[in-house]
Amino acid sequence: MNKKGTSVTFYELIIWIWRIVFLIIVIGGFVYIINLYETREIKVQDLELNLIGLRTYYSGDCFAYKENNRVYTGIIDFNKFNEERLSNCLAGNYLIKLNLQNKNKTIFLNKQDFEYKEQFCKFQNFYCSERKQYVLINDNGKLEQDMLTIKVIKNE
């Protein structure tokens, strides 16, 4: 009788050892996953630069066509497409180049700094963004399709 009672206890001990090892592995996995997301660095510079670029043709203060207090997003008023308007609509520490491909017109926000710092965009710690977007151009009431290339550099 003692042998049977001892073997059952030894069998239960072996099962409990495996259960404890499995529990340690599961808890370790949870700790690893939580630590992975807790220590992750979130980079918002790309999003910030993309939003700055989008503002140029979505905002009535920039280049979006505006008629009767209604702003037509995605339609650029060609009469507004100039460097003075660009410098007035975007406040911040950014260098910007906008190019309308078919109209063959390029404008800059601080051209000299942009051309100098554009060469550093390939380095990882320098924040640059480039986006191409199909837009409509309102040129004195006539709508035309065009490709807008937006390059933004965060000037630090």
21 DSSP β-pair partners: none
Q: Are residue 87 and residue 140 in the same domain, yes or no?
A: yes
Mean pLDDT of 49-54: 80
Structural domain of residue 21, as residue ranges?
1-40
Q: Are residue 6 and residue 50 in the same domain, yes or no?
A: no
- Mapping DSSP to helix (H, G, I), strand (E, B) and coil, where does residue 128 land? strand
The per-residue DSSP string of 68-102 comes to TTEEEEEEEEGGG-SHHHHHHH--SSEEEEEEETT
Q: Are residue 6 and residue 49 in the same domain, yes or no?
A: no
Q: Are residue 33 and residue 54 in the same domain, yes or no?
A: no
Q: Which CA distances in Å does 76 have to 20, 31, 68, 102, 134?
A: 66, 51, 16, 13, 11
Q: Are residue 148 and residue 74 in the same domain, yes or no?
A: yes
146 DSSP β-pair partners: 135
Q: Are residue 66 and residue 138 in the same domain, yes or no?
A: yes
Q: Are residue 31 and residue 49 in the same domain, yes or no?
A: no
Q: Are residue 36 and residue 77 in the same domain, yes or no?
A: no
Q: Are residue 88 and residue 140 in the same domain, yes or no?
A: yes
Q: Are residue 69 and residue 103 in the same domain, yes or no?
A: yes
Q: Are residue 93 and residue 148 in the same domain, yes or no?
A: yes
Confidence of residue 27 (pLDDT cuts 50, 70, 90): very high
**Domain total in the chain:** 2
Q: Are residue 21 and residue 62 in the same domain, yes or no?
A: no
pLDDT tens string 84-128:
888 888 877 888 889 999 888 999 888 888 888 888 877 766 788
The whole-model pTM stands at 0.66
Residue 87 is which amino acid? S
